[in-house]
Chain A
Amino acid sequence: MQASLFSRALKEAGIAAAIAFGLFALMLGVKTEQSLNNEMVLLPRPGLLATVVGLVFLGRFLLTLHAAWRGEPDTTKRAQSPFMLKVEKYGLPLAIGFLVAYPLMVLASVGPAGAIKWIDNFGIQILIYIMLGWGLNIVVGLAGLLDLGYVAFYAVGAYSYALLATSDPVKMFMAEWIGPGFWAAWSFWICLPVAGILAAFWGILLGFPVLRLRGDYLAIVTLAFGEIIRLVLINWIPFSGGYAGLSGIPRPSFFGIPFNASETGFAATFGLEFTPIHRTIFLFYVILALALVTMAVSMRLRRLPVGRAWEALREDEIACRSLGINTLNTKLTAFSLGAMFGGFAGAFFAARQGFISPESFVFLESAQILAIVVLGGMGSLVGVVIASIFLVGGVELLRELEFLKAVFGDGFDPSQYRMLLFGMAMVLMMLWKPRGLISVREPSVFLKEKKRVAGDLVKEGHG
């Protein structure tokens, strides 16, 4: 038994290696180069080819053995995943505590110079995507409406803030009616809700015509919507600045106190020495708060009738309608709420960057946010967090892998391979956990509550 398993694994690995050799012999095995005489010469690279083929052989060999040892997939276990449930249950306070302490921990361990990278590139960047993932989760995960153009709402939010905050008429109006300096200090805090409302408005605008569509057709229309928004931003130059984008977007203030070296700045007010990291840390807490609001709202909504209606809508639209659910309104609320959170994230993004251009709102962004939701497990909030950390944090981490240069040569830039790794991660995930990282759907009502309900009944003598 064992011997035959071994030989089978060897055989399968051999076949895989042969296929890999056939595939890569020309792609990796030879390299075209220009010689001194301007002729093209072929440089053989047997070492690289051998490495790749060897890796494929080893991988396939181990995979076969692993599959055989694991035996038949145990479906009951897979459906439960108690560890993940525990994460969902106890992890929340721990995670929030960790996130609140995160900037200070980083600051203490690497000092102010190194901390900006860790707080900004990892902390803020990941939190933006978590928030976007949670926003899209309402639309895709809960209501089951496949939205491929979510980035459009992100863009609406970002441009809303950028345009309002830099607009001269608004500035003058505010200066005249409330006082000079008011708009510069408070624009972010006023524009943030406005950006969310505008994005929600666009969500409704998109929602109306596409409400009758479902599945693939809806996906295509939302994809088109995302592209339309981007193309409008590119081509309506007087409005949006076109490719050049908008710059000089005011950064958020500490509730009216700017982050600068002046005497009225944040550092001076609180008796600290001025460093740019104050703003970064503040931005971190802002996006953390925004993300937590998104989470709280999604968790709360799931327990309300509208959240249940979303989930029922995802399961069966016809049954929903026959139970008296107005599917039109239900879809619209999902669309607009999801869009609103996208808009908040967008406004924050604009404020953090200080510069935006249509480049930031390409389809790939939508795809990445969707991938986060799908990989995380549709409808799971924790899944979105884990997937964001892997996908966004992983890409950032690639930049850090300097040692790879020693292996692959000096010109090697690992972050150029991010799409390759991204794709590989997707394929592996879908093989390993086809329904996403956290595929368990936690019911919105529990046994405890049911018992309580039954107790009430007895007491009041209904039964």
Chain B
Amino acid sequence: MSEPLLTVRGVKTYYGKICALHGVDMDIHAGEIVTLIGANGAGKSTLMMTIFGSPQAREGEIRYEGRDITRLPTHEIAHLGIAQSPEGRRVFGRMSVFENLQMGAAVNGLAHFNEDLEKVCTIFPRLKERLEQRAGTLSGGEQQMLAIARALMSRPKLLLLDEPSLGLAPIIVRQIFDVIREINAKEGMTVFLVEQNAFHALRLATRAYVMVNGRITMSGTGAQLLADPQVKAAYLEGH
């Protein structure tokens, strides 16, 4: 296999004295959907944020397209073609949907803005109806769509999605996951997905990792993990 798009090697992240990640190794290859599942507080979001440089890893190395990005500030990482839909969506509430999308395209100076606007509006027709509306008045699902759309506006090579199903109705969750699959299949976009909703996430994943207490304990293809009795017992209760 060729060189991975993103490699994480021995990354340790601390919040003050508390160690949140105890040496994490992970690879993301171009064109994959890689899923990270785990319980609350396992360190999933911390890993995603560490890739994005906030907080920075105290030890270890993160390489993206062969370049060491461990010590880069967040906004510079965003300029390298990594985009994120953060946990809790974090849309700009008092700005319109349109302006939110403009902010998403700020990295490349609105160069492809019109084209990309059309594209995300095709992916999320709901947003097209609401372009003039204030983002804070959207429903939770629409805000999540906006957060993903905003991330897509920068034409990223790697899309980081932190808990896109958080607090959403099951039918919306399915829509969101369908969109992720579509973006991956049609655009060949590489996706790194952090999820608690393990069943959906694993069905979507090319490969997946399981994180427990800041360590990767298991990895494999999505199907392998779905079938794994331990994973079933721990994360797939009820499916």
Contact = CB atoms under 8 A, between A and B. Distances in A.
Interface of A: 305, 308-309, 311-312, 314-316, 318-327, 441, 443-447, 450, 453-454, 456-457, 462-463
Interface stretch (B91-99, B179-187, B193-201, B214-222): B91-99
Given A321-B54, A324-B79, 11 more contacts: A308-B102, A308-B103, A315-B95, A316-B90, A316-B91, A322-B74, A322-B84, A323-B154, A324-B154, A450-B132, A457-B114
A447 B132 contact: yes
Contacts of B76: 324
Nearest to A463: B118
A315 B147 CA distance: 14
A456 B114 contact: yes
A445 B96 contact: yes
Interface of B: 52, 54, 74-76, 78-79, 83-84, 86, 90-96, 98-99, 102-104, 106-107, 109-110, 114-115, 117-118, 131-132, 134, 150, 154
| Majority-rule SS of A interface residues | helix
B94 to A, nearest CB: 5
Contacts of A305: 106, 109-110
Contacts of B92: 311-312, 315-316, 319
B74 A443 contact: no
Contacts of B117: 453
B98 A443 contact: yes
Contact of A324 (B54, B91, B107, B114): B107
A324 B99 contact: no
A323 B95 contact: no
A324 B75 contact: yes
Contacts of A454: 118
Contacts of B95: 308, 311-312, 315, 441, 443
B78 A323 contact: yes
A118 to B, nearest CB: 39
B52 A322 contact: yes
12 contacts: A308-B95, A312-B103, A318-B86, A323-B83, A323-B104, A323-B106, A324-B76, A450-B132, A457-B114, A457-B118, A462-B118, A463-B115
Contacts of A318: 54, 86, 90
A309 B103 contact: yes
